Structure 1
């Protein structure tokens, strides 16, 4: 089991994402933040295995946040949540493991978690 963190500027979207991830029961703990700085502080103190992040959070591009977090903890797996596919190519070029279109659904999250499990088996890494 692993720790997941969600960063989403929209409080309703954040609560919805939290409820989906918690209902799947795949993660030991799931935490949500609407402020990227708060998420960074939390991750620095408690750690994180998987980060779900909106493309833009309070004026901060997701790739800036991802680069900042990689300096804190190199083995975080990143999944971008987006309203469209505009960032998809760049995301995969930068090693993001998943790209989920909003509105999130149980099916889209389950599919993404399936990718994480496949990665775990193929790399023998400790991931969810």
Structure 2
């Protein structure tokens, strides 16, 4: 619960604000003050989240008081409460959470408390995008992963489709000529090129049906995988090998 103070030289206004805030809940009125100097002394020695400040006061005005309180305790949320609307622009230039006109009513104060609550909540990280999961050791598997333990299998069209995809995942980048020579050796170039394009199409189709964004980048001469969006046990193995200082990236012969 947020801890708040009220500073106002008008007793009736102060009591009204404290009563309504108490009825609405979500904030504890820790102390009330008629004099700004007393509020400064309190904030210096106590934890306070929010200060409700009147603006027209005899010692110093609420604008100046807000600056002093924030120097004593940062971050401190400020809500200005005034019978006049002419100070609103100045208030928001101080990054005030709200500017509430007197007499305060429950409906209006509830909106202020909701704003205070939103500011007090820690920001939530954006949901992570799903990734392609690949397991090569212990049997080839493809799946969509939405986090630990959240896997959805992806079925590719044929063994040849799986073979091409696994080959590209291992290589990272491969020329079309290299792919044709490795997976369609002996075929005429035009026939091999047609097979490559149709197989790439079916890989992309399976990924799209699984709700994954395209991660195959096929150019005129080469094809590459966006490895940053793939969770693959082979990549993890390579990182461990490199970390252990055991040499360069293992060649394809280590896996086939």
TM-score using structure 1 length:
0.88
CA shift for structure 1 position 18 = 1.1
With over 3 angstroms needed to count, the CA separation of the structure-2 counterparts of 1:123 and 1:80, relative to structure 1, is farther
Structure 1: gaps (5+ residues): none
- Post-superposition shift, 1:44? 0.9
Work out the CA distance in 1 between the residues paired with 2:57 and 2:47. 20
CA contact (8 A) 2:36 2:59 kept: no
TM-score (normalised: structure 2): 0.46
State the 4+ residue runs in structure 1 displaced beyond 3 angstroms.
Answer: 120-124
What's the secondary structure of 1:81's corresponding residue?
strand
Does structure 1 residue 89 correspond to structure 2 residue 89?
yes
Question: For residues 50-89 of structure 1, what are the alpha-carbon distances to aligned partners after superposition, in whole Å with 9 as ceiling and x for unaligned?
Answer: 0000012224111110111111001000000011211101
Q: Which one has the largest radius of gyration?
A: 2
Shift of 1:123: 4.0
Deviation of the 1:119 alpha carbon: 2.4
Aligned to 2:58: 58
Is the Cα contact below 8 Å between 2:5 and 2:31 reproduced in 1? Answer: yes
Distance of aligned partners of 1:122 and 1:3 in 2 relative to their CA distance in 1, 3 Å threshold: closer
Structure 1 counterpart of 2:45:
45
Aligned residue in 1 for 2:34? 34
Q: Distance in 1 between matches of 2:75 and 2:2?
A: 12
| 1:108-123 → structure 2 map (5 Å cutoff) | 108-121=108-121, 123=123
Q: Contact 2:82–2:100 (CA<8 Å) still a contact in 1?
A: yes
Looking at structure 2, the residues matched to 31 and 122 of structure 1 have their Cα atoms a distance apart, in angstroms, of 26
**Structural RMSD (CA):** 1.6
The C-alpha deviation readout for 1:20-57, integer Å capped at 9, x for no partner, is 11111212443211111111111111121000000122
How many residues were matched structurally? 124
